[in-house]
Amino acid sequence: MNDVSFEFAELRDLEDIMSFISQHWGVNHIYSVSKELMMKEFLWLGQPDKLTIGLAKDVNSEILGVFCFKFYNYSALPDLAGALWKVTSEAEKKYQMIGVRLRQFVIKNVKHRFFSAAGAGEQTKNTYKMLRLQWNQMNQYYIINPLIHEYKLTEHLHLKPHKAEISGLPDIEMKLVDNTDDLLNFDFDRISNTLPFKDKRYIENRFFDYPFYSYDIFLVYKSNEKLAQNIVICRKAMAKDEKGQDIASAYRIVDFYGPEDLLPSIIISLFERVKVQGDEFLDFVCHGFDQELLKQAGMNSLNFDSTEVIVPNLFEPLVKENISVNCIADGASVNYRHCRADGDGDRPSFF
C-alpha cells in the first residue's frame, strides 16, 4: 500500500472530489453538481482551508476513494457522523481493504467520543459487521391525513383511521424559531449525554440557510416554563416526478432534541399543521425512540415487507415503494438516536 496515501481534503480538492462522485457514484448526484451544498455540508468549521472528507490517492495524486464525515458538536471530544463513503471498483481490486483503511485513517485521526451514520447501504452491511459496528434498520412512523380527496403518494385502503390517546396529555406551546438567538432558550447541556450529542452550532450550520430546502425549527415549551424542553425540526417535502414537476407534499420530522415524554403532544400538534397545509401524511424516520409514545400520538410503524400500506421515502423523483433506511453506530449494544437528517440524510437529489 506504499503507493496509496491517505489525507484530509483541502478546498483545492473540491472540484476533483465532485468529479470523482460524478464518475464513480452518479453523474447527477447532487454532490457532483452543487459546490454550494458541498461547502455547506463538509466545510471544516474552524479550519476553513479543509473539508471533512478523507481521501485515498495514488502516486499521481488521483483520487481513489472518499470518506465524508461531519461533526455533530464542536466540543473537545465531539461525536462524528458518517456520510458518503466510496472507493473505485478498480482500487478495491488492486489495493486490499483500501476502503476500510481510508475509514480507519479518518477515525484514528479525528478525536471523537462516538461515531454513527444514517443511510448506510445494504452493500456495506458485511463491512460494518466486520468492523463490529451496530447495524439497525430505522423505523418509519406515519399518520395519513384523512382530509385528502385523492392520494397521489400513499396507498392505504385497509389502514385503520388515525386515533390518538389525548387524555391526560400536557399542554404545550410550539414556537417557530426566527433566528439562531432563539436557540438560547434551550439548555443543550441537558442533552450532552445523548448519543450523538448535537449542539447549537450544529443546528445553526445544518438547518439555517440550507441550500434548496427550508426547515421549520420549533421550540417546545411546557405550560408556564421559560426554557424549552424540546427542539423539533420539520420540513414540508414536495414529491416530484422524473421531470422535476411537483406531485404532492408530506410533512417530515427530520430531527428531535430533548426528552421524549412530550412526543405525543408534539405529534398531535404537528398533525394539525399537516391537515391545514394539505400534506398527505406526517412521518418520522428514526431509530432509538419510544415506540409506545409514538403509538400514543396515533402514529403507525410502517411494515417495509408489506405492500398493503405504502408510505414513500424517496421523493426526488418519487419512488412509490416502502424503502427502509439503515443506520450504524459504535458498539454492539450502545443506545443511540438517529433521525432522517443525520449525516448527509435529507438532502436534495434534484439540482
Reduce the secondary structure of the chain to three states and give it as a string. Answer: CCCEEEEEEEHHHHHHHHHHHHHHCCCCCHHHHCHHHHHHHHECCCCCCEEEEEEEEECCCCEEEEEEEEECCCCCCCEEEEEEEEECHHHHHHCCCHHHHHHHHHHHHCCCCEEEEECCCHHHHHHHHHCCCEEEECEEEEEECCCCCCCCCCECCCCCCCCCCCCCCCCEEEEECCCHHHHHHECHHHHCCCCCCCCHHHHHHHHCCCCCCCCEEEEEEECCCCCECEEEEEEEEEEECCCCCEEEEEEEEEEEECCCCCHHHHHHHHHHHHHHHCCCEEEEEEECCCHHHHHHCCCEECCCCCCCCECCCCECCECCCCCCCEEEECCCCCCCCEECCCCCCCCCCCC
Residues of the chain with CATH 3.40.630.30: 4-112, 139-339
Pairing of strands 114-118, 79-87: parallel
Query: What is the value of pTM for the model shown?
Result: 0.95
Please report the pLDDT score of residue 158 as a whole number: 80
d(CA 163, CA 264): 12
Please report the pLDDT score of residue 70 as a whole number: 97
165: pLDDT confidence band, cut at 50, 70 and 90?
Answer: confident
Q: For residue 86, what is its C-alpha cell?
A: 466510496
Please report the pLDDT score of residue 139 as a whole number: 98
Q: Is the pLDDT of residue 315 over 90?
A: yes
d(CA 340, CA 347): 10
Average confidence (pLDDT) over 99-104 = 96
CA 186 to chain CA centroid, nearest Å: 21
159: pLDDT confidence band, cut at 50, 70 and 90?
Answer: confident
Average confidence (pLDDT) over 226-233 = 97
Q: What is the architecture of the domain spanning 139-339?
A: 3-Layer(aba) Sandwich (3.40)
Q: Is the pLDDT of residue 3 over 60?
A: yes
191: pLDDT confidence band, cut at 50, 70 and 90?
Answer: very high
Q: Is the pLDDT of residue 227 over 80?
A: yes
Please report the pLDDT score of residue 121 as a whole number: 84
Please report the pLDDT score of residue 351 as a whole number: 57
Q: What is the architecture of the domain spanning 4-112?
A: 3-Layer(aba) Sandwich (3.40)
d(CA 125, CA 122): 5
- Share the mean pLDDT of the chain: 94
Please report the pLDDT score of residue 281 as a whole number: 97
pLDDT digits over 270-307, tens only? 999 999 999 999 999 999 999 999 999 999 999 999 99
Average confidence (pLDDT) over 259-271 = 96
Q: Is the pLDDT of residue 13 over 90?
A: yes
Average confidence (pLDDT) over 89-99 = 95
* Phi/psi at 105 (5° precision): -60, -45
Q: Is the pLDDT of residue 224 over 90?
A: no
Q: Map grid coordinates 409506545 to a residue.
A: 292
CA angle in degrees (0–180, nearest 5) for 109-115-119: 120
86-90 long-range Cβ contacts below 8 angstroms, 24+ apart: 86/20, 86/21, 86/24, 86/25, 87/56, 88/24, 88/64, 89/24
d(CA 233, CA 219): 9
pLDDT digits over 14-61, tens only? 999 999 999 999 888 999 999 999 999 999 999 989 999 999 999 999
Q: For residue 348, what is its C-alpha cell?
A: 436534495
pLDDT digits over 68-82, tens only? 999 999 999 999 999
Cβ neighbours of 131 (radius 10 Å): 14
Q: Is the pLDDT of residue 1 over 80?
A: no
Which candidate, 267, 186, 174, 271, places its Cα nearest to that of 216?
174
173: pLDDT confidence band, cut at 50, 70 and 90?
Answer: very high
